[in-house]
Amino acid sequence: MNHVNGRASDAAFDRIRGEPHRRYNPLIDEWILVSSGRTSRPWQGRREAAGQESAPRFDPNCYLCPGNTRANGERNPAYESTFSFTNDFSALRPGTTTERVQDGLLIAEGEEGACHVLCFSPRHDLTLALMPVQAVREVVDVWADETTELGAQYRWIQVFENRGQIMGASSPHPHGQVWAGSALPREAAREDAAQRRHHGEVGRRLLLDYADQELDGPRVVEVNDDWLVVVPFWAAWPYETLLMARQPVARLPELTGSQRESLAEILIRLLTRYDNLFGLSFPYSMGWHQAPFGGVETDHWQLHAHFLPPLLRANVRKFMVGYELLAESQRDLTAEQTAGELRAASPTHRFAVPVAEVDTPLSVRTT
């Protein structure tokens, strides 16, 4: 990636960059507090286990490995690529009543939906960062297919991945989820309103304007012809990144074959930089935000994904507590600093698995 020292407009922030200041997030109409230098304070609190996770290629006790029996008694097929199934313990279910009830200030309504699990690979020991480009491209295709299928019935399709125990992942097997709901959830509604307002005022998509302003700037982590990854100017989490399509596109199914291929490539490079930053399998929650369904126009909405890792240091997590919970989000490092650290991390994985080994079929129990 060719990188220069940002656009001239970024110099306007030099006077306050090292001082406590607030930054505005136009995507959700919210401010955050930036307190640069707080990482130098003594830390005697909780420390997370550090080091690279190791796992077998196949775990006979894993609910998600090919051929194994899941918690509900169903057996997985001997799948050889991305495998999708209905979550055995779904948070949302089809056929749920959508009745709305109210008693004064107490209001509730039923929520109908569906929850799917996506096993990215039959290999128990791989992550998206360690998978070949073609295998990650297959994951992208399944994300798009699931969006199309569920979008025919539900308004909001949330594709996401929780990686690592610290993020609440219930299994170490490489997997993500797709939840579909009939209502527009909080973050989606805020992003929809902000993007709609910006498009109505200037006739352009907010995130395309933002991508254009950030391109070649100090917060860029990765860029190719189709995608841009930045630590957003308003990032709340220390190593948070925002992945944006660089051409107008509202949903995953709209991506062309070449855009899906380049997405797979940039995903691997970004996640590899995360892993190499502290020399461990970097935990995160990531999720795609795509235009809601339901027959509404989508000219204002730009496809993007949020990566929200919890770590502040290799074995210290960022706790969103106290001021963050009661007042507003606060970060201890500037977006420019963490973007520079991610750029400095190698895009070649230090624990890369030879392609020939990845492609070797697994011998799994199927009876």
The C-alpha torsion from 148 through 288 and 177 to 350, rounded to 10°, is 130
State whether residue 103 is helix, strand or coil.
strand
Torsional class of 224: left (φ above 0), alpha (ψ -120 to 50), beta (otherwise): beta
Residue identified by tokens 């998600």 is 64
| Amino acid residing at 45 | G
The structure tokens listed for 117 are 């699990």
Q: Are 307 and 240 in contact (CB under 8 A)?
A: yes
Task: Output DSSP code: residue 9.
Answer: G
Which residue is catalytic, options 116, 173, 175, 300? 175
CA of residue 221 relative to chain centroid, distance? 15
| Contact partners, residue 276, CB within 8 Å, separation at least 6 | 345, 346, 347, 348, 349, 350
- Pairing status of strand 227-230 against strand 106-109: unpaired
Dmax (CA) for the chain in angstroms is 67
Q: Which helix (H) or strand (E) holds 241?
A: strand 241-245
Residue 118: is it exposed, middle or buried by C-beta count within 10 angstroms (0-12/13-18/19+)? buried
Please state whether beta strands 311-313 and 175-181 pair in parallel, antiparallel, or not at all (unpaired): unpaired
What is the rounded distance in angstroms from the CA atom of residue 157 to the CA atom of residue 179? 6
Q: Residues with Cβ < 8 Å from 52, sequence gap 6 or more?
A: 279, 280, 281, 351
DSSP 8-state assignment for residue 76:
P
Residues 276, 349, 218, 38, Cα dihedral to 10°: -10
Alpha-carbon torsion, ordered 158, 161, 162, 164, to 10 deg? 180
Q: Is 3 a catalytic residue?
A: no
Residues involved in catalysis:
175
